Amino acid sequence: MGRREIWHRAEQLCRAGIRIASVHELDAVLTEVVESARAVIGSRFAALGVLHADGDHLERFITSGIGDAEKSRLGGPPSGHGILGLLITDPHPIRLKDLTKHPKFTGMPKQHAPMRSFLGVPIHGRERPIGNLYLTEKIGAEEFSEEDEKVAVMLAAYAAVAVENARFHQDRERLLAELRGMHDSRERFYAMTNHELRNALTAVHGWAELWVRKTAPDTPRAAIEVQESAERALNLLEDLLDLSRLDADKLEPKLIDADAWNIVRESVATVEPAAERKGIAVRVTGPDGTIDCRTDPQRVRQILINLLTNAVRHSPQDDTIDVKVRASNGEMRFDVVDHGEGIAPEQQAIIFEAFERAGKQTERGTGLGLALSRKLARLLGGDLRVESQLGHGAHFSLNIPRFADASS
């Protein structure tokens, strides 16, 4: 082969590689590989067989050089026996001057064009063989050369990368479609939950609250339990909806000027009835006077109520919960400390994940409060952390900017 021919073939090979790499749809990739191989190597026919996942037979067979009319006369694709099967069981290049004289040759359909010279190379993926590239009837020679084999091996390498990329592209598109479907289903679910379930729970809570007021001070225990259950369900619903909005980046803080002391007092007042039933005192300490800040009071209250509710739940009877407030020029810190059973190190690693809980499975709790609280803390530009040892209670620290900036 002269220098001019070598350069011409190298140019053809480069162009073929570019064409193969630019296609993402799997069948189009396979067709491009076959067409490029036939053109670069110079054969009358070419084919590419794709192996089934079990690796013992062909599931796809793409041809080049055979017209549609001839394909219809030949019937279905080969099953992968004979010489084709040899490449499957022993994936190494095969170069034959006359394939009909090979011991593994099993014949061809009568309608098939005559074939003698043969070149076959395996297509190796990263983890297993993907398929095989076949070329027959070398143009201008009785057999394929060693140079042809090297070019075919190189094209097979291009094909392996292109096929795996195409499969990855297909899998990615399928997963994206599934993800979009799941997202749409989730949005429909939350819309239904927000409308139908909220209305039903609000009605139950309203009637129970009216029942409690009208029967005070001799309110039946059943009325109180219905009211409290409806209130917990409404709070759970709000937590679920907030988590959904946070995950979808649809929740934005509403920043206003406020007094941090008022936020703390309102949060403590919310949990005081539950604390009093267990004889628990909530002790608040911090600097004197007002603590001016700019934040979202509703979200800070939501975090503190979650932390205080957990503290009441896990504190022993007749114990104390400490709430500490600190403020500097740039930051506010709220500490909620209980003296309960504490949190094991392995639990501390997961309690800020949705639906994970510290403590016993039989204890009341949804596993949403801490996950939501940390997300809200980060929404406000801060964070929520825990320090704890088994038998020594838990210490949760909420740090947020004192004067939040809407542009940050």
pLDDT 10s digits, 268-297? 998 998 899 899 999 999 998 899 999 999
Q: Please state the pTM of the whole predicted model.
A: 0.50
Identify the H or E element spanning 45. Answer: strand 43-51
Q: Comparing C-alpha atoms, which of 338, 324, 340 is closest to residue 398?
A: 324
Residue-level pLDDT at 346: 85
| pLDDT at residue 11 greater than cutoff 50 | yes
Residue-level pLDDT at 301: 92
Residue 65 banded pLDDT, cuts 50, 70, 90: confident
| pLDDT at residue 131 greater than cutoff 80 | yes
Residue-level pLDDT at 76: 55
DSSP 146: H
Gap between the Cα atoms of 287 and 268, Å rounded: 17
Gap between the Cα atoms of 28 and 162, Å rounded: 10
- Of the listed ranges 169-178, 192-201, 339-348, 382-391, the least confidently predicted one is 192-201
Residue-level pLDDT at 220: 84
Residue-level pLDDT at 359: 52
Residue-level pLDDT at 70: 63
Say which residue, 337 or 107, is predicted with more confidence. 337
Taking residues 53-65, what's their average pLDDT?
Answer: 74
Residue-level pLDDT at 104: 80
Residue-level pLDDT at 395: 95
- Of the listed ranges 159-163, 260-264, 340-344, the least confidently predicted one is 159-163
Taking residues 235-244, what's their average pLDDT?
Answer: 72
Residue-level pLDDT at 363: 47
| pLDDT at residue 110 greater than cutoff 80 | no
Considering 147-161, 176-190, 254-268, 335-349, the range whose residues carry the highest mean pLDDT is 254-268
Rounded to 5°, angle at Cα 263 from 284 and 226: 90
Reading the block at residue 25, the tokens are 């749809």
Reading the block at residue 344, the tokens are 């094991």
Taking residues 100-108, what's their average pLDDT?
Answer: 78
Gap between the Cα atoms of 232 and 236, Å rounded: 6
Taking residues 57-80, what's their average pLDDT?
Answer: 66
Question: What percent of the chain is modeled with pLDDT above 70?
Answer: 79
| pLDDT at residue 55 greater than cutoff 70 | no
Residue-level pLDDT at 4: 61
| pLDDT at residue 393 greater than cutoff 50 | yes
pLDDT per residue over 241-263, tens digit each?
A: 777 777 667 788 999 999 999 99
Taking residues 38-56, what's their average pLDDT?
Answer: 81
Residue-level pLDDT at 79: 56
Considering 80-89, 131-140, 291-300, 342-351, the range whose residues carry the highest mean pLDDT is 291-300
Q: What mean pLDDT, rounded, does the chain reach?
A: 80
Q: Comparing C-alpha atoms, which of 270, 272, 294 is closest to residue 380?
A: 294
Say which residue, 146 or 158, is predicted with more confidence. 146
Contact 304, 398 (CB under 8 A): yes
φ, ψ at 258 (rounded to 5°): -150, 170
CB atoms inside a 10 Å sphere around CB 397:
19
Residue-level pLDDT at 380: 93
